[in-house]
Amino acid sequence: MSNVDYSEKIPNNVDLANDRTLQRALEHWQPRFLEWWREMGPNDFASVDVYLRTAVGVDAQGWAHYGTVKMPDYRWGIFLADPVANRTIGFGDSFGQPVWQQVPGEFRSQFRRLIVTQGDTEPASVEQQHRLGHTCPSLYDLRNLFQINVEEGRHLWAMVYILHAYFGRDGREEAEELLARHSGDIDKPRILGTFNEPIEDWLSFFCFCYFTDRDGKFQLKSLAESSFDPLARTCRFMLTEEAHHMFVGETGLGRIVRRTLEVMKEIGSDDPEAIRRQGAVDLPLLQRYLNFWFSSSLDLFGSEVSSNAASTFANGIKGRPDETTQYQDHVCADSTFEIEVPDGKGGVTKDTSPMRNAMNEVLRDAYIRDCEIGLKRWNIQIKRGGYKLELKLPSSRFRRAIGAWANVPTDLDGRPIDREELDRRMPGWLPSASDKAFVKSLMQRVVEPGKMAAWIAPPDRGINNLPVDYEYVRLN
């Protein structure tokens, strides 16, 4: 079961050859996907050779094969993690019963909406990153960008497979729509806000991988708990690919910090202007980018209190990340969760919500803790360099557009402030026009093997035990 069949038109480990109707439907979708990739993907690089990994199995160990591929020839396919024998439902009202191999009719539209929303983010990110290749800071980074792009394309396949295989005609229509919406499109935008934000520079790209892909990790982890077993298995395998995307974000930002500290040491100053004159990113600027992408990504979890979250949990559709290992009470019928909400008088008050209704917040809290890890690491580097500055995540109340804190003016610490103060101080908290212009000026492409742009340190090691100066992308 776990071996992938590459002799098929669509590589898969789901025995597609034995389901002619499904196979035909997906083979019909395949050229549309390729057309979308040509139009919206990194197509200026269609003819270059890229050192990419491809899935050859679904075991945690050794699932990937590395080799040189032209991106349009990448073997996008359908890979589900192996089934767990006698798996039972891990949470909600049907706790302990056998998992479902088909979607129960009464939950069909809830499932469909979740799968479509997840599926929509995958091609969206490819569209957002569409032109980044032209300004890569190194061949190593260029290869990582392309690896992420092809894998997000594969994640789209993962969701389209579920739609086609389990949602009949509706599913096929949704699969078409996934290629019809586009990031930032006025008429047909992507479903979630963050996925319509342009990513025009590599600092934003690394922030996106660090914060937004991490939201993806948490969503996938909670869908990997789902009672609908094919969805759970699909998401479990997606998570193994996703880990690399977060690695790119974390090491990318870490390498920027390291380079900035080197420059600060060289010039003996932490003056932002002096650092910028050396072509590096000053830390206050980095902080403003963190503020932007973190606050934007927090909204992806939805409202603090949500009847929708309660019902997807109760119905066994979407659990909590690591449901089995992290929690004792998997039913949460009577437990409660305390949340902080605005008191309407410029202050903060505590509110108690039934636990099930607060599942978005439970997820968001876990996500925030995960986001802290990288910052701690970078702050240790900064401290070792002898500087007092600390990078910090803003409060989860800051700059929210969804939920209890939507459009409530607060400072970075989440302290409610009046609108006039917000307007006055916000430019210092988010990337300014001149920050963006400066970052843009840094985006000069560096494509000599092993060489790095002046604003980023080299990685500690190369890909798959190859040296850092390996020619990961052959441009001609």
Q: 120 vs 122, which CB is nearer to Fe ion?
A: 122
Q: 79 vs 107, which CB is nearer to Fe ion?
A: 79
Two structure tokens written together for 450? 């092993």
- Do 49 and 68 meet the contact criterion of CB atoms below 8 Å apart? yes
> In angstroms, rounded to a whole number, what is the distance separating the alpha carbons of residues 230 and 224?
9
* Residue ranges in 214-273 that form contacts with Fe ion under rule CB under 5 A: 242, 245
> In angstroms, rounded to a whole number, what is the distance separating the alpha carbons of residues 394 and 8?
49
Amino acid, res. 265: K
* Least CB distance to Fe ion at residue 227 (A): 22
The piece of 13-21, 209-217, 311-319, 452-460 that touches Fe ion (CB under 5 A) is 209-217
- Residue 1: Cβ within 10 Å count: 11
* Least CB distance to Fe ion at residue 89 (A): 25
- Do 74 and 150 meet the contact criterion of CB atoms below 8 Å apart? yes
> In angstroms, rounded to a whole number, what is the distance separating the alpha carbons of residues 453 and 446?
6
* Least CB distance to Fe ion at residue 323 (A): 21
Q: 242 vs 270, which CB is nearer to Fe ion?
A: 242
Q: How many residues sit in the footprint of Fe ion (CB under 5 A)?
A: 6
* Pick from 65, 167, 184: nearest CA to 126: 184
Q: 242 vs 435, which CB is nearer to Fe ion?
A: 242
Q: 42 vs 316, which CB is nearer to Fe ion?
A: 42
- Bridge partners (DSSP) of residue 228 are 100
Q: 111 vs 210, which CB is nearer to Fe ion?
A: 210
Quick check: 400 binds Fe ion (CB under 5 A)? Answer: no
Quick check: 155 binds Fe ion (CB under 5 A)? Answer: yes
- Do 439 and 201 meet the contact criterion of CB atoms below 8 Å apart? yes
* Least CB distance to Fe ion at residue 159 (A): 9
* Pick from 128, 125, 27, 120: nearest CA to 76: 27
- Bridge partners (DSSP) of residue 333 are none
- Helix or strand holding residue 321 (H, E): none
* Least CB distance to Fe ion at residue 144 (A): 12
Strands 473-474 and 49-55: antiparallel
Q: 300 vs 339, which CB is nearer to Fe ion?
A: 300
Amino acid, res. 38: R
The piece of 37-45, 154-162, 200-208, 454-462 that touches Fe ion (CB under 5 A) is 154-162
- Do 107 and 96 meet the contact criterion of CB atoms below 8 Å apart? no
Q: 215 vs 323, which CB is nearer to Fe ion?
A: 215
Query: What are the DSSP calls for 12-61, one per residue?
Result: BSS-GGG-HHHHHHHHHHHHHHHHHHHHHSSGGGTTSEEEEEEES--SSS
> In angstroms, rounded to a whole number, what is the distance separating the alpha carbons of residues 288 and 274?
18
Q: 245 vs 397, which CB is nearer to Fe ion?
A: 245
* Least CB distance to Fe ion at residue 330 (A): 27
Quick check: 181 binds Fe ion (CB under 5 A)? Answer: no
* Least CB distance to Fe ion at residue 133 (A): 17
* Residue ranges in 134-153 that form contacts with Fe ion under rule CB under 5 A: 152
- Residue 343: Cβ within 10 Å count: 12
* Residue ranges in 17-76 that form contacts with Fe ion under rule CB under 5 A: none
* Pick from 333, 315, 331: nearest CA to 323: 331
Quick check: 213 binds Fe ion (CB under 5 A)? Answer: yes
* Least CB distance to Fe ion at residue 242 (A): 5
* Pick from 72, 65, 202, 224: nearest CA to 142: 202
Q: CA-CA-CA-CA torsion for 102, 105, 109, 112, nearest 10 degrees?
A: 10
The piece of 29-37, 158-166, 208-216, 380-388 that touches Fe ion (CB under 5 A) is 208-216
Q: 245 vs 356, which CB is nearer to Fe ion?
A: 245
* Least CB distance to Fe ion at residue 318 (A): 17
Q: 152 vs 299, which CB is nearer to Fe ion?
A: 152
* Least CB distance to Fe ion at residue 396 (A): 22
Quick check: 190 binds Fe ion (CB under 5 A)? Answer: no
* Least CB distance to Fe ion at residue 212 (A): 8
Residue span 82-121 as binding mask against Fe ion, x where in contact by CB under 5 A, dash where not: ----------------------------------------
Residues forming the site for Fe ion (CB under 5 A): 122, 152, 155, 213, 242, 245
